[in-house]
Amino acid sequence: MEKVNELKEKGNKALSAGNLDEAVKYYSEGIKLDPKNHVLYSNRSAAYAKKGEYQKAYEDGCRTVELKPDWGKGYSRKAAALEFLNRFEDAKKTYIEGLKHEPGNQQLKDGLQKVESRLSARKSAVYFEQGDYSKCRELCEQAVEVGRENREDYRQIAAEKLIKEQERLAYINPEIALEEKNRGNECFQAGNYPQAMKHYTEAIKRNPDDVKLYSNRAACYTKLLEFQLALKDCEECIRLDPSFIKGYTRKGAALEAMKDFSKAMEVYQKALELDANCKEAVDGCQRCMISQYNRNDTPEEVKRRAMADPEVQQIMSDPAMRLILEQMQKDPQALSDHLKNPVIAQKIHKLIDVGLIAIR
């Protein structure tokens, strides 16, 4: 018996130090000498679990329970191994069985609450896939509540995200979206752009994959001079359907209104790649070319327009670029050297396009 205790202590020290193979070896040697020692099986189960050998951990957990049916630790070992094996229902049953023998065992209580939380989350995912959102929500809320009790933050966050997502999906209704779209069209035609924008926004919530809704709202934003918001809707429109020409022509119109004619022409060209006969794109290109060569904005207007562009803002906030621009002012010959760097050249061309700098 003394030798068994010595081997157990050596195993415990090895386990605490993270020397798992060594711990298993000592516990196994002890079991050979005392095959009915439930503590050795329990400790070896813990070592196997840490090694990732969950089936062996489960088998030792089962043996622990067989040898000492009234000992809560054995049920904890067995249930923990079952969780690692993704056998959550069996783990739940094991925790419950253990609590029958030790009703006050906190480790068993905590384990049961955690596994119930995981089961609720898994079941809610099934209901979510089946479209039974009310049942999904009910289970998610249960999981969140259990998670709060156990301070299971990551599970709580996951469950709350699932609730929000199922609420979003439950709100989708293409028929109501169409009604809101028609109301928006009526307001747009009447010149009531703020009200039209509200209807289009509601329609998007009801049917977030309809590219035409983003296109229509972009037109509203353009009318309201909210060009950055218009561009954002156009980008989403193009992302959803890269072949939807209206997304490009709306984007081109917003850029044109911002007097970013070079970028607007690029977008109109993309529209023409999809349809060479697109009148909106052809007319847009022609307008941009004429405007670009006949513009006589004041320096203040040019600067104000340019600094409204996020890309320009980023360039001008770069200390290295400011240093380069100062150098170019003092020594025009420095431009050729900087243009050899593709990254810097791209930024310089952007500033030329928006009229912030001129090359003589």
Going from N- to C-terminal start, the domains of the chain cover 2-168, 180-293, 299-353
Report pLDDT for 141: 56
Please name the residue that has the structure tokens 């299971």: 152
Q: Which CATH architecture has domain 180-293?
A: Alpha Horseshoe (1.25)
For residue range 169-200, list pLDDT tens digits in order: 778 888 999 999 999 999 999 989 899 999 99
What does each of the 360 residues of the chain score in pLDDT, given as a tens digit?
788 889 999 998 888 788 889 999 999 999 999 999 999 999 999 999 888 888 999 999 999 999 999 999 999 999 989 988 888 889 999 999 999 999 988 889 888 888 877 676 575 444 445 555 555 555 555 555 555 544 445 555 555 666 666 667 778 888 999 999 999 999 999 989 899 999 999 999 989 989 999 999 999 998 888 888 999 999 999 999 999 999 999 999 999 888 888 888 889 999 999 998 899 998 888 888 777 665 566 677 767 777 777 888 888 888 888 888 888 877 767 777 777 777 887 887 777 777 777 654
104 burial type by CB count under 10 A (0-12 exposed, 13-18 middle, 19+ buried)? exposed
The answer to whether the 2-168 and 180-293 domains have the same CATH topology is: yes
pTM attached to this predicted model? 0.45
Report whether CATH 1.10.10.1200 matches the domain 2-168: no
Cα separation, 190 vs 4, whole angstroms: 91
Q: How much is the pLDDT for 158? A: 58
pLDDT value of position 115 = 81
Return the CATH number of the domain spanning residue range 299-353.
Answer: 1.10.260.100
User: Among 92, 94, 97, which residue's Cα sits nearest to residue 120?
Assistant: 92
What pLDDT, in 10s, does the model give residues 148-176?
544 445 555 555 666 666 667 778 888 99
Q: Which two tokens stand for residue 94?
A: 């094991």
> Would you tell me how many other CB atoms lie within 10 Å of the CB of residue 268?
27
d(CA 94, CA 275) in angstroms, rounded, equals: 66
- Model pLDDT, residue 17: 80
Distance CA 98, CA 45 (A): 17
CA separation (Å) from 116 to 40, 86, 350?
29, 13, 58
Please report the pLDDT score of residue 113 as a whole number.
83
37 contact partners, CB below 8 Å, separation of at least 6: 4, 8, 30, 31, 67
